[in-house]
Chains A and B, each alone.
Chain A
């Protein structure tokens, strides 16, 4: 943001028909807290990216990982570091920051926030060391009855309990605000963060319950596990995990991106509505990851497919709001026409360019998701490279690239320093876009040919069908290389920004766009988050009651489990 800031010292004056979102002054202590979240996320991203690069070469047949650090250990580390650690720490950081910045609370205590951070970090270190030592090569889904060291399950549980602390902190700030200002609406950024974390707590109840089964079993207190039950609990959490990432990215798309070109948030009410829909449609959908599992009737799978498609509505609303924001800002500046509107946008600003690339990647990502979520088409792609392509073009594209772009605004604001090497930052986001497009499209293609995911080596002793997907695996490795270089460039800019001694003359600001006042005020009922949380829980119970009753009405057997690596 710093560069754009300098080129355009005065953002367009806020017109009289907007409601600015107050940006409260940050205290150095709060900045330090958020920086630690961002540092941890960046460290996880960097190590995860190195493993990703090596995986690409392994799958293309150019590299055989040594027995003392085999492919599956590396794959587990990549999945856990990227999907669970990088994303979670960035979201806890940005949501803590956005909540604090939009709720002015003098003398705010940071004890809970710091305690939560250290709990998350301790859990992460415990799980990561266990994985790297080779005692938990169970991939990030840790499907029982693969039996990892108890330290892995303990570490993952601590990480999640730490995020509950962050959730309590965010909600406590919102409650404090509502008590102080009963007539006012919850500030939009804080509202979005609170919704995201309420959803997260409801979702993580599933994985914590699963840990309640796995921990005693891994310690030897129980003799076996009910495998389908643990799979259902995992995916009850595993899909909302995806929406947790997406909501983190949406917060930035809705509130931060318009500020890069002096735009306004299209509609406060519709933004809140789309977040409420994400809260409701996140949890009752997990069985769409289990479409080809035994033990769940096709009827329940159909129900979860139906509810999964519910997410199309907030996605389309978000797409509309983003393009409307672009066009309205351009028109206010006297710019008309499609290409002129495109040219009007601040493409030289890495914050905007990164987020825009992320949005572009989400279009194929979303449509690919429609295929996975269809219970008949999923049979063609389940557990193939298609799925790997899909989650890279969603979480690895739209989400991760949005976080990287946001970091270009956030790190200068937190450190008071100018963005280091903004041209490198700009090249970085485009390289990411290119690398991700090449890698994920190749993966989708390989998947359609039948290449399985989660497999160290896919030549099957020269099987003919395996030869068909080899060129795609080579292209994916090339795309992965571009992505790795891009991540190194990000680290260069982020570390450079922190280490350089160039304190900006005008302290870089982290801005939220103002809300367009011509859009109507949000209905009061949207702020009743407790009620919405209850509805979300009720929906989840309804969607899972049938499948659970069905499973428990069968004779039941436990699997003893083993370590197979």
Chain B
């Protein structure tokens, strides 16, 4: 059998301990708080996005008081809609897809961060508690004008 020195066993136990605590925290947060990364599994024909509801009418849709759905279409090099306005405290669920190449959908300072893949619908929810103007940006390289692919989310 493998002999492992006493000190090394202690050291490896320390490493394993870090792992156990980390995994337990992450797993508890996932199971109890539903804290999991955006992982929607839904396909869409990327060549027919403009004819496929709800992406035939991109934009913000009010579901009930304080609850919104926003349908976004990413294409080189812009988001449609370019700008939305929501009230403070609004819970917004974003649905995003692409008509051409891979894009990203990220809003710094919020934790909204998802990939936008042609052929698939991505989804992420967020509650805007702070008023202000938020920068929405494409964080995956999509071509020459990638740095100009951004939009605005106004919370007031």
Contact = CB atoms under 8 A, between A and B. Distances in A.
Contacts, number: 214
Interface stretch (B57-65, B66-74, B79-87, B107-115): B107-115
B30 A302 contact: yes
Nearest to A453: B139
A451 B39 CA distance: 23
Contacts of A319: 11
Contacts of A313: 12, 15-16
B54 interface: no
Interface in B97-156: 100-102, 104, 106, 108-109, 111, 113-123, 133-135, 137-144, 146-147, 150
A316 B43 CA distance: 42
Contact of B144 (A70, A231, A555, A558): A70
Interface stretch (A7-15, A108-116, A375-383): A375-383
B118 A145 contact: yes
A429 to B, nearest CB: 27
Contact of A550 (B8, B41, B123, B140): B41
B140 A454 contact: yes
B23 A309 contact: yes
A565 B144 CA distance: 5
Contact of B43 (A306, A458, A554): A554
Nearest to B110: A450
Nearest to A146: B101
Given A227-B102, A317-B12, A456 B147 contact: yes
A384 B41 contact: no
Interface stretch (A151-159, A204-212, A254-262, A288-296): A288-296
B108 A376 contact: no
Contact of A228 (B39, B114, B119, B147): B119
A139 B5 CA distance: 46
Contact of B139 (A143, A455, A558): A455
Given A292-B115, A295-B117, A450-B109, A520 B3 contact: yes
- Which residue of A269, A383, A449 has the most chain B CB atoms within 10 A of its CB atom? A383
Given A460-B150, A554-B42, A146 B102 contact: yes
Given A139-B141, A383-B106, A460-B135, A376 B147 contact: no
Interface of A: 70, 72, 75, 137, 139, 143-146, 226-228, 231, 269-270, 273, 290-298, 301-302, 305-306, 309, 312-313, 315-317, 319-320, 324, 370, 374-376, 378-380, 382-384, 449-458, 460, 463-466, 519-520, 523, 550-551, 554-562, 564-565
Given A455-B141, A456-B146, 4 more contacts: A72-B143, A228-B119, A383-B115, A559-B118
